[in-house]
């Protein structure tokens, strides 16, 4: 293959993930730090990818596309990289079919990178792009230490041509076996870390911890560490923010409240004496005074009491119930 000048970042889906059903926020707009979103992480990890000139982000809806376009405008990106956000014109085609359809719109590139947006990008994503240029195969798969797909692929023009022009076509279940059957070379490229998938509350919070640990490892020792809280946060002196928590701008945390290993999104309020642990509190959501939010996802500014939340908004291990502030990490 040659250097891949184009990358397709798959941020849509035929079916929404559990997290997207619970929290109506596009996956790439989820914060890993107050002003650092999952989209920032992808752009940063791709900054050293040789010859990459075009990144196409594919989403489910026009609302998602408009939001990501606005959020992406001020983001740092590799010099000369064109960012295009588009709505999936045919979600029923599947990820493989989408690759074919997008590439058929242009003069087909010699090779194309493909990323699964709903995961933390590998720290060595740029090295994967280098491996593409050095490979003589038709397909490359980024592989975790446990030999699982790490969310990055590369396909030659010949491999893309093997995708049917109609019907559903998956990458892992159909395209890779098809290439093998056709005698085309497909090989794995080892990555350093296990993949952190952002499809559930627990997976998202684990990705936040991994991203924070990576940022801390690259931080100047002279700079202060601690929880990642935004400017504009209104936090009472008696409130406690513990563990690895992300607090976005415009959040209000009242007297005696405790936030532990959680994400509090813009405009949310955590009431006096409330406890929030291993939870995600969505934009404009409200946690009432003295309520316990443990291993939950809360979406929407109209939400007040967990007892009144429908199941898709207050979920604890798959159930709509209150959980004790004890036990192992989930």
pLDDT in tens, 237-286: 999 999 999 999 999 999 999 999 999 999 999 999 999 999 999 999 99
Would you tell me how many other CB atoms lie within 10 Å of the CB of residue 116? 23
CA distance 175 to 237: 56
Question: Does 324 or 64 have the greater pLDDT score?
Answer: 64
pTM: 0.86
Do 119 and 254 lie in one domain? The reply is: no
Domain of 296, CATH number, reads: 2.160.10
Do 238 and 162 lie in one domain? The reply is: no
Question: pLDDT at position 189, please?
Answer: 94
Do 240 and 327 lie in one domain? The reply is: yes
Asked if residue 199 belongs to a domain, the reply is no
Do 236 and 186 lie in one domain? The reply is: no
Do 267 and 139 lie in one domain? The reply is: no
Asked if residue 119 belongs to a domain, the reply is yes
How far from 33 is each of 21, 65, 230, CA to CA, in Å?
Answer: 22, 21, 8
Domain of 87, CATH number, reads: 3.90.550.10
- C-alpha 232: how far from chain center: 25
pLDDT at residue 209 is higher than 90: yes
Q: Which of 161, 190, 219 is the last residue of a domain?
A: 190
The three-state secondary structure class of 198 is coil
pLDDT per residue as tens digits for the range 273-324: 999 999 999 999 999 999 999 999 998 643 333 333 333 333 222 333 333 3
Mean of pLDDT values over 65-78: 93
Question: How many domains does the structure of the chain reveal?
Answer: 2
For 263, the domain range is 227-330
Asked if residue 208 belongs to a domain, the reply is no
**CB under 8 Å to 27, separation ≥6 — which residues?**
11, 17, 19, 20, 38, 117, 118, 198
Question: pLDDT at position 51, please?
Answer: 82
pLDDT per residue as tens digits for the range 275-285: 999 999 999 99
Q: Which of 190, 216, 251 is the last residue of a domain?
A: 190
pLDDT at residue 215 is higher than 70: yes
Going by the DSSP 8-state scheme, the letter that residue 91 receives in this structure is G
pLDDT > 70: percent of the chain: 85
Do 301 and 184 lie in one domain? The reply is: no
Asked if residue 25 belongs to a domain, the reply is yes
């Amino acid at each position: 293959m040659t250097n891949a000048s184009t990358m397709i970042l798959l941020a849509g889906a035929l079916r929404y993930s559990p997290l997207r059903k619970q929290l109506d926020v596009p996956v790439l707009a989820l914060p890993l730090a107050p002003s650092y979103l999952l989209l920032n992480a992808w752009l940063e990890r791709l900054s050293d990818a040789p010859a990459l000139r075009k990144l196409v982000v594919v989403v489910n809806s026009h609302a998602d596309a408009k939001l990501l376009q606005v959020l992406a405008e001020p983001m740092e990106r590799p010099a000369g990289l064109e960012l295009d956000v588009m709505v999936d014109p045919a979600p029923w085609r599947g990820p493989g079919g989408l690759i074919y359809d997008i590439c058929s719109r242009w003069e087909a590139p010699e090779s194309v990178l493909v990323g699964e947006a709903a995961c933390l990008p590998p720290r060595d994503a740029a090295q994967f792009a280098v491996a593409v240029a050095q490979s003589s195969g038709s397909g490359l798969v980024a592989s975790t230490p446990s030999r699982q797909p790490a969310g990055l692929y590369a396909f030659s023009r010949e491999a893309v041509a093997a995708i049917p022009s109609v019907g559903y076509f998956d990458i892992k279940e159909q395209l890779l076996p098809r290439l093998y059957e056709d005698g085309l070379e497909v090989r794995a490229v080892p990555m350093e870390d296990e993949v952190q998938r952002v499809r559930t509350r627990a997976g998202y919070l684990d990705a936040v911890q991994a991203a924070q640990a990576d940022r801390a490892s690259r931080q100047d020792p002279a700079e202060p560490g601690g929880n990642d809280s935004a400017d504009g946060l209104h936090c009472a002196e008696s409130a406690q923010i513990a563990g690895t928590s992300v607090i976005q701008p415009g959040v209000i945390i009242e007297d005696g409240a405790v936030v532990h290993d959680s994400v509090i999104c813009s405009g949310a309020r955590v009431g006096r004496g409330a406890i929030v642990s291993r939870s995600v509190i969505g934009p404009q959501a409200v946690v009432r005074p003295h309520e316990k939010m443990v291993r939950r996802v809360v979406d929407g500014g109209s939400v007040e009491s967990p007892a009144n939340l429908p199941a898709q908004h207050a979920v604890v291990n798959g159930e709509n119930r209150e959980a004790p502030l004890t036990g192992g990490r989930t």
